[in-house]
Amino acid sequence: MAVGDLEIVHPRIERYLASLILQRDRVMMEMEARARREDIPIVGPVVGRLFYQLALMSRAKRVMELGSAIGYSTMWWARAVGGGGKVWYTDSDPTNARDARRYLKRGGVGDRVEILVGDALECMHRVKGKFDIVFCDIDKPGYPKAYAAAMRRLRRGGLLVCDNTLWKGRVAFGFVRAKRAPSTAAVQQFNRLAYAADDRAFATLIPLRDGVTVVVKR
């Protein structure tokens, strides 16, 4: 951790939450081990279960991912939407996309996922129709733009789900300090947009792992 970063959830609580989760299948555990070994950012099983639950609760069938890395979160969404659902994976790195395709196929959900390589927002623009869920996990300076784009594409009652919205606690350090850190300032701006008292959205920031914001479009 950088100097001044905060542990959002106490490590003992993190371990307890993890202990409640039943063993994942071999593919997911392989992805988790690789992420630890190679320092690949994934949401992990505790947040993954939240994603699965949100998809079930909203009866989601169309999920758009903005930033998918090796496809770990994609696997959770794809399993939740079921055989009639579809998830759009996006990543700018063709190697990530290639590896994700292999994992998703081995995980039994390859036929539910469309792999798109390139800028996440541009990829979303190429897909027609409304989405039940948009998941945002792109580079942090792009969060405010992603908020606006996602809200245009969600159906009424759809969810915008965004990871890292506590950003290791840096969002609490104040605007003046954040101005010197574009990523922190962008996440702060995203949170202000999500919590804005307009007619379009109702948001809750869940202090789980590094912060997960869930926005429902009214």
Q: What is the pLDDT of residues 109-124, one digit of tens each?
A: 999 999 999 999 999 9
Round to the nearest angstrom and report the end-to-end CA distance of the chain: 37
| 191 neighbors 171 (Cβ within 8 angstroms) | yes
What is residue 5's predicted lDDT score, i.e. its pLDDT? Answer: 82
Closest CA to 164 of 210, 214, 213, 215: 210
What is residue 1's predicted lDDT score, i.e. its pLDDT? Answer: 54
Q: How far apart are CA 60 and CA 8, in angstroms?
A: 29
Stretches where the chain sits below pLDDT 50 are 3
> pTM of this prediction?
0.94
Q: How far apart are CA 171 and CA 5, in angstroms?
A: 10
pLDDT, tens digit (0-9, with 9 covering 90-100), for 59-91: 999 999 999 999 999 999 999 999 999 999 999
| 114 neighbors 88 (Cβ within 8 angstroms) | yes
Domains of the chain: 11-217 (3.40.50.150)
